[in-house]
Every structure is written in C-alpha cells, then in structure tokens.
Chains A and B, each alone.
Chain A
Amino acid sequence: MDHRELIVRPLLTEKGTHIKETENKYLFEVAVKANKIQIKRAIEEIFDVRVKKVATMNRLGKMKRVRIKAGRRPNWKKAIVTLAEGHTLEFFEGA
C-alpha cells in the first residue's frame, strides 16, 4: 500500500494539540488495515522525521439514523505517533 493511502488525514483536536505540546505525540486517522510498522515507515518517509513509537486503536463507526432507517458510519483507525526527541511536524501548526 502506498503511504498516502495508509495515512488518511491528520487529526486536529484539542486533546491532540495537548499531547503534541506535552509529549510530542501526533494524531492521525489511518487506514483500518494499516499496522504500526507500516504507519511508522509512512510517517518517517512522508515527513522526514524519526518515529519513536506508534499506538493504534480501532474506532467503531457511530450508529446514525435518518427517520427510522438505521445507518452506521464506517469504522476507522486512529494512530498516536510519538516522534523522537527533537523532531516535530510543522504541518500541525495549522490546518
């Protein structure tokens, strides 16, 4: 899989901003099938940084209904990427 397909988008959230500042961790939405090793490699190559650790979690899509029809948002995977000391992602300074 291509790197660009693996990493879906960066997540800009309050919590994400907080752990970026305190622990040098960055949040991404990634492909559900991506594993930690692939993610590490992808981030290192796309942003030219050294990744120390990757944590992932599967997020279940929320149930949504329109009138009585039940629907469901797709499941997705979140990755918390910890960068090595001295590495940052300028990208996250703004959307």
Chain B
Amino acid sequence: MHVEVLQEPSWKRRIQIEVPADQVTREYEEISRRFQRTASLPGFRKGKVPRSLVQKSFAGRIRQEVVNRLLDDAYRNAIREADIDPISYPTIDKLEFNLGEPMTIHAVVEVKPEIEFVDYKGVKAVRPAAAITDDDLDQALENLRERQAQFRCVEGRTAQADDMVIVDQEAHDETGLKIPKGSGEDLAIPVGRRLTRPEFEEALIGAAAGDERKVQVDFPADADDPAFAGKNVTFTLFVKEVKLKELPDLDDDFASEMGDFGTVDDLRAAVHADLERHATQRAEESLRSQLVEILVERNPFDLPVAMVERYLDSVVESSAAQSRRDPREAASFDPDVVREQHREMAQKLIRKTLLFEAIQKLESIAVSEEDLDEHVAKIAELNNLPPRKMRVSLEKEGKLARLHDELLEEKTFGVLIALADVAETA
C-alpha cells in the first residue's frame, strides 16, 4: 500500500492511498467466496452456485462490498502509517476502483492543528485584591440576620414597609368570573421589599387586620400566565394579620444558633474567612480568564472547523434535551440559533484547549498517578470513604478521567501564572 499525505491548511490532510492490484483481487475473491456460501439461485442448491455465476449475478453488490472493505482497511492503515490523528470523519473525494487494477483513494480529514510555538511567557495580568473590608463583613452579618428574621403578629398594627401581611385573596375578571389560579387563603405578602407587583404593595401599605382592599391589574395579552393574559383582573384582599419583622440581635446566642460558634467574635471570624475564601476564588478566576483571553489573542492559529462543529453539536444536543423538559422553551427552540449563539464561545474554548495541550507538551506538564491518588484521597476524606473505595467508585462513574483533566488544567494554570507577570491590586 502506498500512502501519500498532503498538508492543506494546518488542520487538514489529504491522504492519497493506492491499494495494489493483487490486494484488490484477493479481496474480490474473498468477498465472492462469502457471497457464494449464501447465494441461492433457481436451479442450484443454496451455496452450490458456481463462483463465476455468483460473480456475474451479484457483481454490483460484490463490488460495493469490496470497495467498502478496502476503503475501510486502507484508510485505517493509512492514518496509522502516516501517524495522523483525525478529528473528523474522512471525506472521500476520489475513488477509482477497477478489478485487476490498483485502487486509488483520496480522503480528506481534519486533524488537530500542530502548535509548535506558544507565546505564553510574561503575560501581563492583574489579580484583583481579595481583601475584605469591615463594611463587607457587616453586610454579610446583616444578611445572616435577615435570613433568620422572625415575623411577629402585632394587634392593631397598620402595615408598613418590611412587614408581612397575611391575606385571603380572590381574583375576578371583568365579567365577575372567579379565577381560581389567582385566589387563595392565608397568603403571605411581603410589603415594601419589591417582591410582589407594586399595585399590591401600594394597596396594602397602611392596611390593618380586618381591612379589605381591592387591586386592579390590567394584564397584557402576552402575559406569562394564560389564566390572566389579556384580562382586567380585580383582586380582593382580606387582610387577616399584619406581622412585624424582627431581626435577631447579633449576640452570642445568635452566634451559637448559626453553628458551632461560642461568641459573636467567633462568628465574625468564620464569616470573614468565608468571605475571604470566596473573594480569593473570584480573584483567581478573574486572573485565569485574563490569562486565557490574552493567550488566545496572542496565539492565533487556524481552527479546525470539525472541532468547533462537533462541540456545537453537543451544545445543541444538551439544550435540546433541556427544552424538551420545558414546554415553554420547546416552542422557541431553534438549533441554528443556539449554534450561532455559542459559536464564539466554542471557538475560544477550543483555542484554549489546544493551546493548553501545546503548553503542556512544551513544559512537560503531566498528572502522575501519585497526583491523582493524592487528590482522590482528599475527595475520599470529604466523603468519609477509604481512598481505594473512592477511587473505584469514581472510576465506575467515569469521573476519574475528568478528575485527571481537571488536575492537568490546574497544573497548567499554575505554570502559566508562575511564568506570567501578575500585578496585584491593593
């Protein structure tokens, strides 16, 4: 077999294969023999039809089979011989086949572009400061208190901002017909926090238990809920209770309620640490995305179409699956739109992946078994499992390979950052 490879763009290869005549003949005889075994023609018992007759009466099918077999074999051998790692199915754009003559095949495949040089050293990037101010801390603690807020019923209180009002509600359309979907008992409506329609809040401010309020809402024809769309709905609210919001005091009791904290100071320290961890993480992410951005920009190369398309295929697939679960989305689902929306992101992602692969080669970054074991041990500890068991179960779920990739990316980022010119902002 004679193989010749022509390089078109850096990500395309034209493979020209010549299969020698005697191999063609051998294959032809082999296939004929197979057909002969099962052939049944009138006048002959099954499998007893002479070879020459079989070859004549099944000429087309035998030929097809021979071509398929030879093509398949030849292509496989050719990519192995030429050491090509295709990322797309081959396009056959020339195929010459005649019995007793050498067979010529021209196949075009896409390959990962070879990136020999990557400019990745001394990348200027900024790591945003991860310092936590007292204000941040106070705000976080305030949020904690807010989450633990209690609502206490107060006799004779008129509703004000931040209160919770308990109402029975009935909805009627303009003809006086009751809309069950807009009606209910003991509904809790928070006031002054912009969580419900402004009309409701407005009507409820100043209301006391026993009051009745009416709210008119004109729903547009394209409202989300078809039960209301295009209707002028009157909501009647019977106020049953007005509740006052009470925030817990920031004291040691509160601290111990929030977890294993003895004093407020312990809680503060824990919240501070938590905030700091998040901020560091965000800073790190920002730094990383800057690096990727610059890396992609600095190292342009021809992107193989097939890789991008294949990635987009998977994106379309998963969003199709998602829209099938949600009937409202299904109507507006258009694979072509999804494709176009994600194209840029896909291109960047693939560029990054390919550049990372190149850098890993240049810097000989690899994840060793020990690295992997160490990481598995960490996960095992979090899950309270012996490391070996953890590893087996990860392997079973096919997550070990992903873990490996994650670690590799982690290491690569580590090297990149070490080689980059990172400025810290105060």
What residues of chain A have their CB less than 8 Å away from a CB belonging to chain B?
A: 11-14, 16-17, 93-95
Contact size range, B: 10 to 19
Contact (Cβ within 8 A) A14 B45:
yes
B180 within 8 Å of A (CB atoms): no
Report the separation of the CA atoms of residues A93 and B271 in the bound assembly, to the nearest whole angstrom.
93
Contact (Cβ within 8 A) A14 B48:
yes
Q: Tell me the residues in window 127-174 of chain B with beta carbons closer than 8 Å to chain A beta carbons.
A: none
Would you give the shortest CB distance from B37 to chain A, in whole angstroms?
15
Would you give the shortest CB distance from A76 to chain B, in whole angstroms?
15
Known: A16-B43, A94-B55, A95-B53. 20 other contacts (CB 8 A): A11-B43, A12-B43, A12-B53, A13-B43, A13-B44, A14-B43, A14-B44, A14-B45, A14-B48, A14-B49, A17-B50, A17-B53, A93-B52, A93-B53, A93-B56, A94-B52, A94-B56, A95-B41, A95-B56, A95-B57
**B23-62 contact mask (Cβ, 8 Å, vs A): 1 or 0:** 0000000000000000001011100111011011100000
Would you give the shortest CB distance from A12 to chain B, in whole angstroms?
5
What residues of chain B have their CB less than 8 Å away from a CB belonging to chain A?
A: 41, 43-45, 48-50, 52-53, 55-57
* 22 contacting pairs across A/B (C-beta < 8 A): A11-B43, A12-B41, A12-B43, A12-B44, A12-B53, A13-B43, A13-B44, A14-B43, A14-B45, A14-B48, A14-B49, A17-B44, A17-B53, A93-B52, A93-B53, A94-B53, A94-B56, A94-B57, A95-B41, A95-B53, A95-B56, A95-B57
Report the separation of the CA atoms of residues A95 and B50 in the bound assembly, to the nearest whole angstrom.
11
Would you give the shortest CB distance from A34 to chain B, in whole angstroms?
21
CB-based nearest A residue for B56: A94
A95: chain B residues at CB < 8 Å are 41, 53, 56-57
CB-based nearest B residue for A94: B56
List 7 tightest A-B contacts by C-beta distance, closest first.
Answer: A94-B56, A13-B43, A14-B44, A12-B43, A14-B48, A93-B52, A17-B50
